[in-house]
């Protein structure tokens, strides 16, 4: 079944109505459609960030074995951007 395109037209800015419209639109989607939309938007944001000169953020690393008070671990955290 083809999804109908809905467009909200307001004479003046009304954030509450815009949010209600957006939520109603998302509720009309199936879970699979929502995930496809989320993936599509994520790819769009990543593409825009790359075009703007931002690189991909570093991956998550395991911290459970670190002693945060040792100088070596603080240096490692600083390298990964976790300590200011």
Confidence at residue 50, expressed as pLDDT on a 0 to 100 scale: 85
- Residue 82: CB atoms within 10 A of its CB come to 14
Our CA angle for 54, 75, 66, nearest 5°, is: 105
Answer whether 17's CB lies under 8 Å from 8's CB.
Answer: yes
Closest by CA to 63, choosing from 33, 43, 83, is 83
Same domain flag for 48 and 65: no
> Which regions in the chain score pLDDT beneath 50?
83
Confidence at residue 54, expressed as pLDDT on a 0 to 100 scale: 78
Same domain flag for 62 and 49: no
Provide the number of structural domains found in the chain: 2
Same domain flag for 48 and 64: no
CA dist 27 and 38 (Å) reads 14
């Amino acid at each position: 079944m083809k999804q109908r395109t809905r467009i909200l037209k307001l004479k003046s800015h009304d954030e509450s109505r815009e949010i209600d419209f957006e939520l109603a639109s998302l509720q009309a989607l199936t879970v699979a459609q929502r995930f496809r939309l989320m993936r599509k938007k994520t790819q769009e944001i990543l593409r825009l960030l790359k075009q703007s000169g931002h690189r991909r953020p570093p991956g998550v690393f395991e911290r459970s074995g670190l002693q945060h008070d040792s100088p070596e671990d603080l240096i490692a955290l600083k390298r990964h951007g976790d300590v200011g």
